[in-house]
Structure 1
């Protein structure tokens, strides 16, 4: 008979500045140990070589990770023109080289503006964590297997290029929807300019309203209140009587504002997140335990 899981006793949201050389799962393991809590998860994978904002939920906050994962992201990174790799970043093996010693910023930006901003489609890289027929792409890639990947729609809100001291390297700042692969943007831009490119030194600067300014190392990051997980949602404050209905998962009349709604009780505690139900009502997506 297996051991019974100990109920979570530590709850909150940590904004981690992930260092290079560790996986997102490694960071989760670090915080499990630091907070002595098994119920820990993250809201959006960063590659081992990438750094920056990784939002980690502890305890009952893990129920709210979906509202972190689906928010927009912001990144900065360097696009190296003239060299393609099998992983589309600097960690991969070189697969092709091109004569692209100097890439004019204006020409590259014009190509970005014409083809890589707004609603676009991307083919996920083979090193991604997407599953095809039950197996993750990066697992297939390690076995030397490449499979057909259907393109996925993403939205690029902004994609700005800036010069660096290296003539074949441009600094890119990107704001995009969840699910966007920055390495794919770099590779696609290289192809659009008649050659190839790869990405290096990727750093995530924001996940929704979570930014580097409040991030800390895995050993020092602050544990924020559970309600911070829904900081991007419209807030609804209810009475103690209505709060009791919310905690019982009742369907209620919809509120003003944009759904989903974060519902708070009179003691400022987050009770639930509600979504539309029918034409005039709302139902719970998540009810947050209060003990």
Structure 2
């Protein structure tokens, strides 16, 4: 059996869950140690970052990376799920086109830190039950508030007025519900709305152009060259704070040592490298000793 280690930027097709993608890849490769770095709804396509072998040890850190999406908002119709998969809950005819300046003003108001009401059709738990379980059973529940950050939000439509659809691109922090963002944009424009389509075009350092489709992966597997699709673990950690050490400290890190706090450290996790550019471990400030750092993950 082949042993694979690295990061696979996969182009997830619509209609598949993230778990479906992992399951299919395991069958293709006959290799079980595969995990994903954050789910994509079945109706959303685009970048899904998978970790194989040794790289599964850093999957939890990749969850924190920001994401970029392109999507289309449908004005005039609200749904139970806030996207096209739900049942219609409200309708209003958009009789007059909305001026581009009005749409841009709304988008500008939503950049930066914002609050979102978690959608009822989501897997977030309240009192031990998932929100969608309450929704399906018709049981009233107070959904939690999320604090997220919208780094950028812009129009894609090259027209001066908007009537039934708004195409947009958003860069946002982890935990952002883009379907809720779409619904809220419509509300600020005075109409019910839902997210019609969505594509993730970037996750952390991986753009959609770097992704492999299942057809490409199948071709590589047939040629026994699948390893060419894998990216080094270090590329996945490239957006994390970095600390490079000498040979003596490297040996201590290999044994999981607690170390003195370097001047360059802050309270974020740091990827620790040797002089050859190999990532040795993830370290952070010790929770009980602020003058020391401890390993969160040793990777060698």
TM-score normalised by L of structure 2: 0.87
CA gap 1:254/1:219 in 2 versus in 1, 3 angstroms: farther
Specify whether residues 233 and 239 from structure 1 end up closer, same or farther in structure 2 by C-alpha distance, changes over 3 A only.
same
Correspondence 1:271 to 2:289? no
Determine the structure 1 residue equivalent to 2:271. 262
CA contact (8 A) 1:65 1:229 kept: no
Asked whether the equivalents of residues 41 and 62 of structure 1 are also in contact (C-alpha less than 8 Å), the reply is yes
Aligned to 1:152: 146
1:191 matches 2:187: yes
Matched, 1:103 2:98: yes
Which stretch shifts more, 264-273 or 279-288?
264-273
Q: How does 1:38-117 map to 2 (within 5 A)?
A: 38-101=32-95, 102-114=97-109, 116-117=110-111
The answer to whether the 8 Å contact 1:253/1:281 transfers is: yes
Aligned length: 282
Gaps of 5+ in 2: 218-228
Distance 1:131 1:39 in 2: 27
Cα deviation, 1:108-159, whole Å, max 9, x if unaligned, reads: 2212222x11111001112222122222223443444452112110001111
The structure 2 residue matched to 1:251, chosen from 255, 258, 271, is 258
Q: 1:3 maps to which residue?
A: none
Match of 1:20 among 14, 18, 30: 14
Q: 1:233 aligns with which of 233, 240, 243?
A: 240
Partner in structure 1 of residue 220 of structure 2: none
> In structure 2, what is the Cα distance between the partners aligned to 1:268 and 1:163?
43
Aligned residue for 1:65, secondary structure, equals helix
Question: How far, CA to CA, are the matches of 1:273 and 1:123 in structure 2?
Answer: 33
Q: Provide the rounded CA distance (Å) in 2 between the counterparts of 1:239 and 1:36.
A: 38
Residue range with higher mean Cα deviation, 28-37 or 66-75: 28-37
TM-score in terms of structure 1 length: 0.89
CA distance in 2, matches of 1:205, 1:274: 30
Structure 1 segments unaligned to the other structure (5+ residues): 1-5
Cα distance in 2 for residues equivalent to 1:120 and 1:98: 26
Distance in structure 1 (CA, Å) of the matches to 2:71 and 2:272 = 38
Matches of 2:16 and 2:138 in 1, distance apart? 23
